[in-house]
Chains A and B, each alone.
Chain A
Amino acid sequence: MKLTRSHWRRIRSRGWQVLITLMGLLLLTFFIGRVMPLDPVLAIVGPDADHATYQQVYHQLGFDKPLWVQFAIYLNGLLHGNLGMALLTGQPVINDILRVFPATVELATLAIVIGTGLGVPLGVWAAARRNGVVDYVVRIISLAGYSTPIFWVGMVGLLLFYAHLGWVGGAGRVDFSLDGLVPRRTGLLLVDALLAGNGSVFASALNHLILPASLLGFHSLAYISRMTRSFMLAQLTQEFILTARVKGLTEWQVIWQHAFRNILVQLLTVVALAYGSLLEGAVLIETVFSWPGFGSYLTGSLMLGDMNAVMGCVLVVGLIFVLLNLISDLLYQVFDPRTKV
């Protein structure tokens, strides 16, 4: 495939949109953060520190400057690729994000694989057996996955599969006694364990990953199967399907080779969006499973009023969505000639 001039024009105009969106996002986050009744200075100096210490840290963090000046300083840093220092860790925000992100990527990727791998066939099957038993079962599963609080499901999952049955590992990415035994290369523990050739860490990491990823996968399965079903239903009522059936094709060929091919592009967007929201940090699951990922980091920073870290995270989340949108948009054009400008 080759990108044409119209593709490039489209990318350029999208680029401006992206910049403006991110700018607005930052501005909003910054000012909301500053009016929030949180005092990061107090968190740093502790409740027993005296006034002189408080004032010193307040000044060091630049909180005595006008809001606009603080924002300008932040933007200036940003232009130089500096996201500032995080109060929570005392490290540059960019390092923190790079450190926590792989944990979330690992979790989200397995979750989306599970969610898509099961959700798409289920959705197709439900559409093919419209109003039959299969359809109802899939709709119930979808409803359950969508409406049960993930926090509660996580707790029950731990209770059942970890505490009661002992099938999977508990909280954390790996058994605590195996923590830190393989050197960090990619940050993806499964990959790092393979690279180090450490089987027990790999098994333990997989063992810890499987439950939270399945629960998250179940959550995105609900969304994906519902969307697949409705896309398929729209296709199956079309005339070319009737033609195909009249031609004597098998039901399998009709569904998978004719109808399903037509919804692939739409599905891409759905899966990309689902993946995006998983990457944004499955905050509650990360809390229940003490998963040291992006969601945990973001909530911790929010609780502390650590605005540098929060803004950094917002920027990353914004970028993820914008990029996923852009990619799915371009794929649309590549796969579906009708959307070409």
Chain B
Amino acid sequence: MNLLLRCTACCMALLLMAASPGLRAATPDDQLIVGMNMNNLLTLDPAAMTGNEVVGIVVNLYDGLVELDPRQLTHVRPALAERWEISPDNRQLTFHLRDNVTFHSGNPLSSEDVVWSMRRVLHLNLAQASVWKSYGFSKDNVDQMITAPDARTVVLRLPKANDPLLVLYSLAALGSMVVLDSKTVQAHASNGDWGNRWLTTHEAGSGPFRLDVWQAKDVLRMNRDPDYWRGAPKLSRVVFRHLQESQTLRLMMEKGDIDIASNMAIPDVKALRHDPDLTVDAVPKGTIYYLAMSMKDKHFASAKVREAVRYLVDYQGINKSLMAGYGELHQRPIQAGMPATLPDPGYKLDIPRAKALLAEAGYPNGFDTTLRVLADQPFLNIAIAIQSTLMQGGIRAKIVTGTGNQIYGAMRERQFNLLVGRGGSGVEPHPHSSLRSLVYNPNNADSARLTNFQGWRTGFYDAQLNQMIDQALLERDSVRQQQDYFAIQRRYDQLIPALMPISQMVDSVVVNNRVQDYIPHPSATTFLRDVWKTPDSLAGGTP
């Protein structure tokens, strides 16, 4: 009994000790703690990754040939390549690598590694191959098109005519063509998988941080590489934590237990806006919120009906009341902020005009249809707003909600009527990036199955528009190229497209004021190598 009593006393003392607030410390000065939802983080393999979250991690473990300046997106900065040349015929890019770069394994980085890494993307043919295939690269030609004439030079020949600037942007912004330590990866390859399985949870890079551990839907930790060729990063460790509940994230942000929170629910972001210790960064993204109609549906095949729908959306109301923190009013297929983007055409909700158009189309009493949407915000709110204005025009849309697979899956099968979604890669600061994803449709046949083109998914096809897009990409005179993109947007507008842009995406990131030199990158390639924190003792406010 005496022993039992003593044990109980010990336990109580221990509990009290653990429960005392004194033991809780703010995050250490040399560690960055990032809270985010890691549901979409399935692999760290640069060739197989999907989604923005993983890009932000991969670019800190690996280096690319070039980088985009987060403050001036069209400015391409040297990274592994000190300099590069573009051939006069615009078909060849030659990169000259810097000396004395070593991988985390200690192996020296050579042009062979660069070439091998690029070939790997095409041979694996996983998620990241898509863009490169659209540039004409394939498993069969990549060995001839990307070569290493010597240990410091990489030559990239374009299989088909393209704007070399766009290719350069893709190299910098996608994170898919980062350079892997080919020897280390090959040592872990099995069954001809190019090391894919091993790279799911490991890295073989030369970046500023080395992967310590990654456990899916739990934690990812990386430690600084003291021998990094640009100089050791200021932070000794970065910890990414999976926090699924936005409210938990908010509490931990308020308490100072995490330094950066991303993909939080907007109501929680709004609540944190008033905290003097925190800053909310609105990061513009290239993707666009849209209302899509399927031209396989007889109603929406009619241009009059599509035009009626154009006037049955309250663009201003939606952006003002539903999109704060998510996006900003935008009605063009090319992302906002580019010199080539035309001002918005100024569409507004106009019910009498829509009704007249519907009557002309032969639907004076409207019709019934369905509106597919993700069961997430802000998609659901946009859909509800659109449903009510469509109803005023006589179009009775039943809302069908579901997960990403269910909603975008139906779109990929071209089996939907109306759909509220978000798309248009827009990671490269080039008008073609958005057009390729949202407008371009080189073959409208069902059998073509161009599921990566949202133009195909909606069944919107115009031969002339395709040709104009192809041509604008090849135009070498930048002023004329800009004029070409103006013309494309005007024609797109006249054709009354099946995909109507509503809002340009904005991403909200909450950052503790102790964190310095953290510049969230619009193409998700946020570099952490220069980030540092003011010492805890200097921070005011939060205990």
Interface positions of A (Cβ within 8 A of B): 37-39, 42-54, 56-57, 87-91, 96, 99, 155, 158-159, 162-163, 165-172, 175-177, 179-180, 200, 203-204, 206-207, 210, 287-290, 292, 296-297, 300, 303-305
Contact = CB atoms under 8 A, between A and B. Distances in A.
B126 A290 contact: no
Interface string B82-101: 00000000000000000000
B24 A53 contact: no
Contacts of A204: 18, 23
A200 B15 CA distance: 13
Contact of A50 (B133, B221, B251): B133
A48 B451 CA distance: 8
Nearest to B139: A52
B3 interface: no
Rank and list the top 7 A-B pairs by shortest CB-CB distance, nearest first: A46-B50, A90-B200, A292-B218, A51-B449, A89-B216, A166-B21, A39-B405
Interface in B135-187: none
Given A166-B21, A179-B219, A210-B19, A44 B241 contact: no
B127 A170 contact: no
Nearest to A51: B449
23 contacts: A37-B402, A43-B405, A44-B127, A48-B50, A52-B133, A53-B130, A90-B201, A91-B201, A158-B251, A162-B251, A163-B255, A168-B18, A171-B248, A176-B257, A177-B31, A206-B15, A290-B248, A296-B218, A300-B39, A300-B217, A303-B403, A304-B42, A305-B405
A39 B402 CA distance: 12
B239 interface: yes
Interface string B116-135: 00000000011101100100
Interface in B1-36: 14-15, 17-21, 23-25, 27-28, 31, 33
B200 A49 contact: no
Contact of A180 (B126, B197, B213, B449): B213
A210 B247 contact: no
Contacts of B127: 44-46, 48-49, 53
A163 B201 CA distance: 34
B216 A163 contact: no
Given A37-B405, A290-B241, A300-B217, A48 B248 contact: no
Given A46-B127, A158-B248, A292-B215, A167 B21 contact: yes
A43 B48 CA distance: 11
B404 interface: yes
Interface string B205-232: 0000000110111110100000000000
Given A43-B404, A49-B130, A170-B248, 7 more contacts: A48-B130, A49-B452, A50-B130, A51-B450, A163-B254, A177-B27, A303-B403
Nearest to B49: A46
A316 B4 CA distance: 35
B406 interface: yes
Contact of A42 (B200, B243, B409, B425): B409
A37 B17 contact: no
Contacts of A90: 42-43, 197, 200-201, 216
Contacts of A49: 50, 126-127, 129-130, 451-452
B23 A207 contact: yes
Contacts of A87: 42
A270 to B, nearest CB: 24
Contacts of A91: 200-201
B452 A48 contact: yes
A341 to B, nearest CB: 38
B451 A288 contact: no
A47 B451 CA distance: 9
A155 B27 contact: no
A43 B127 CA distance: 10
Contacts of A57: 126
Given A50-B133, A51-B449, A170 B42 contact: no
A200 B216 CA distance: 26
A291 to B, nearest CB: 9
A56 B408 CA distance: 19
Interface residues of B, number: 66
A200 B437 CA distance: 51
Contacts of A287: 244-245
Nearest to A168: B19
A53 B28 CA distance: 44
B397 interface: no
A46 B217 CA distance: 18
A165 B125 CA distance: 53
Nearest to B23: A203
Contacts of A162: 251, 255
A289 to B, nearest CB: 7
A69 to B, nearest CB: 21
Which interface residue of A47, A155, A204 has the most chain B CB atoms within 10 A?
A47
B24 A169 contact: yes
A58 B234 CA distance: 43
A159 B251 contact: yes
Residue from A90, A91, A297 having most chain B Cβ neighbours under 10 A: A90
Given A50-B451, A51-B451, A177-B33, A42 B405 contact: yes
Nearest to B405: A39
Nearest to A56: B125
B409 A303 contact: no
B31 A89 contact: no
Contacts of B450: 50-51
A110 to B, nearest CB: 11
A159 B15 CA distance: 20
B364 interface: no
Contacts of B197: 90
A19 to B, nearest CB: 31
Which has the most chain A C-beta neighbours within 10 Å: B42, B213, B409, B450? B42
Contacts of A166: 21, 24, 255
Nearest to A291: B218
Nearest to B247: A155
A44 B42 CA distance: 7
Nearest to B38: A300
Interface in B53-87: none
Contacts of B18: 168, 203-204, 206-207, 210
Interface string B447-458: 001111000000
A89 B245 contact: no
Contacts of A210: 15, 18-19
A87 B402 CA distance: 21
B245 A288 contact: yes
Contacts of B255: 162-163, 166, 170
Contacts of A179: 219, 221, 239, 241
A305 B42 CA distance: 13
Contact of B409 (A39, A48, A89): A39
Interface string B404-424: 111011001000000000010
A57 B48 CA distance: 11
Contacts of B51: 46
